[in-house]
């Protein structure tokens, strides 16, 4: 039996749908406040609990062989730092502890390239860059590194552990939310600016496929860095703009300008009561130059990455369809 955490989130819900499509039995850990409509309609067994409520985890893990752990908070807001450390770091510690207590055999942990040793402008990041040599440049990265330590501590205490490290995950989803589908909503506003950094990207479908590959391989210590392409933000945003027939950004926003803008934006957001468009951490993240080597996954599994241009075009079609319906 598989227990999936984070099944109502961006990645977790996609994994849940793939498990359903392939008729792989699983149950899900859900909070009472979660929207479980599609899970209920699919007649998936819901086990109510929270990663920060250990006793509920222990109950949810009864009879479970494998935990696929995707539950996490993703944010660049400074006020969310403590929440991310609590959910991503302490929550993973609780998952590990209760898995050991319940006799769960293995854990598949959805990590992030943010947990690896990456340096702005430094060499291409590989799986060998396991532990950050310096503090991660975002609170999210800090929290995912905390989760990473807990997962492998679980292995030292008897769990079989596998980990997946995706770069920026691109997929259709809630375009009105704050995950990567929001990039299409942002580009549609045609603000015209692009940051100077670069990032790695991979499709949501590839992340889901990799999770099932790891599940089927059933090998303790499996680790895969998932990255289909390294793109400048200029290239990424221009390609997104083309996918929705929007005017592409043409004005380069150097780091010193966005460093000036984020305090102004923080004040505007405070006055208006809205989320800031730029924060100190989002400024640091998009102005940084990171590159990743995701070649081990297709080499080991024989599964090729989806073409990112095609992926972006398909997400653009989904975005345009929603806008038309709206």
Q: Is residue 61 part of a domain?
A: yes
Token pair belonging to 171: 């997929």
pLDDT confidence bin for 287, thresholds 50/70/90: confident
Examine residue 326 and state whether it is found in any structural domain, yes or no: no
> Who's near 184: CB < 8 A, 6+ residues apart?
175, 240, 243, 244, 315, 316, 319
For residue 216 the two structure tokens come to 């089927």
Report the 10 Å Cβ neighbour count for 41: 8
The C-alpha angle 76, 49, 142, rounded to 5 degrees, equals 25
Domain count of the fold of the chain: 1
List the beta bridge partners of residue 206. none
- pLDDT tens for 43-53 read 999 999 999 99
Cα–Cα distance for residue pair 2/271, rounded to 1 Å: 46
Is 284 a domain residue? no
How many CB atoms are closer than 10 A to CB 310? 10
| pLDDT surpassing 60 at residue 326 | no
Percent of residues, the chain, with pLDDT higher than 70: 95
Planar angle of CA 167, 311, 16, nearest 5 degrees: 70
- What residue has token string 């492998």? 152
- From 67, 20, 30, select the one nearest 163 (Cα to Cα): 67
Residue 194 lies in a domain: no
Residue 317 lies in a domain: no
Check if the beta carbon of residue 155 is closer than 8 Å to that of residue 105. Answer: no
What residues contact residue 41 under an 8 Å CB cut-off, 6+ apart?
none
State which residues form the domain around 12.
Answer: 2-174+200-231+291-307
Residue 157 forms part of a structural domain: yes
Q: Which of 107, 102, 228 is nearest to 167 (CA)?
A: 228
User: For the residues 217-228, what does the mean pLDDT come to?
Assistant: 98
Residue 33 belongs to domain with CATH number:
3.40.50.720
In whole angstroms, give the CA distance from residue 309 to residue 306. Answer: 9
How far apart are the C-alpha atoms of 139 and 63, rounded to whole Å? 35
pLDDT tens for residues 176-195?
A: 887 889 899 989 988 888 88
Tens of pLDDT along 266-281?
A: 677 677 777 766 777 7
- The lowest-confidence range among 72-81, 147-156, 214-223 is 72-81
Handedness of CA 69, 75, 80, 82 (dihedral sign): positive
pLDDT of residue 72: 96
Q: Let me know: does 278 contact 261? Beta carbons within 8 Å.
A: yes
Q: Specify the pLDDT at position 324.
A: 64
User: Which residues are paired to 232 by β-bridges?
Assistant: 198
Q: What is residue 277's predicted lDDT score, i.e. its pLDDT?
A: 67
**Which band of pLDDT confidence, cut at 50, 70 and 90, is reported for residue 30?**
very high
**Does residue 219 fall inside a structural domain?**
yes
Check residue 71 and give its pLDDT: 96
pTM across the whole model: 0.93
280 occurs within a structural domain: no
């Amino acid at each position: 039996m598989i227990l999936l955490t984070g099944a109502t989130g961006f990645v977790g819900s996609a994994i849940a749908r793939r498990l359903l499509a392939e008729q792989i039995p699983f149950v899900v850990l859900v909070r009472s406040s979660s929207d479980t409509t599609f899970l209920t309609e699919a007649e998936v067994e819901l086990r109510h609990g929270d990663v920060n409520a250990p006793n509920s985890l222990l109950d949810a893990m009864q009879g479970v062989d494998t935990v696929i752990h995707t539950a996490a908070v993703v944010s660049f807001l400074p006020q969310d730092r403590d929440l991310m450390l609590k959910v991503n770091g302490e929550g993973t510690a609780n998952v590990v502890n209760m898995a050991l207590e319940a006799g769960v055999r293995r854990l598949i942990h959805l990590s992030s390239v943010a947990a690896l040793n990456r340096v702005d402008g430094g060499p291409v990041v590989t799986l060998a860059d396991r532990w950050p040599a310096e503090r991660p440049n975002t609170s999210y990265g800090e929290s995912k590194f905390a989760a990473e330590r807990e997962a492998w501590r679980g292995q030292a205490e008897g769990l079989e552990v596998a980990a997946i490290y995706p770069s920026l995950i691109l997929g259709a989803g809630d375009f009105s939310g704050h995950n990567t589908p929001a990039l299409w909503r942002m580009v549609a506003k045609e603000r015209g600016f692009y940051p100077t950094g670069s990032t790695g990207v991979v499709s949501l479908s590839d992340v889901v496929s990799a999770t099932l590959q790891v599940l089927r391989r059933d090998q303790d210590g499996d680790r895969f860095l998932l990255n289909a392409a390294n793109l400048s933000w200029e290239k990424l945003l221009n390609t997104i703009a083309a996918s929705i027939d929007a005017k592409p950004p043409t004005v380069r926003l150097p780091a010193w300008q966005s460093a000036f803008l984020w305090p102004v934006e923080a004040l505007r957001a405070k006055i208006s009561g809205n989320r800031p468009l730029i924060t100190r951490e989002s400024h640091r993240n998009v102005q940084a130059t990171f590159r990743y080597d995701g070649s081990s996954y297709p080499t080991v599994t024989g599964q090729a990455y989806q073409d990112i241009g095609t992926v972006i075009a398909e997400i653009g079609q989904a975005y345009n369809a929603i806008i038309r319906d709206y």
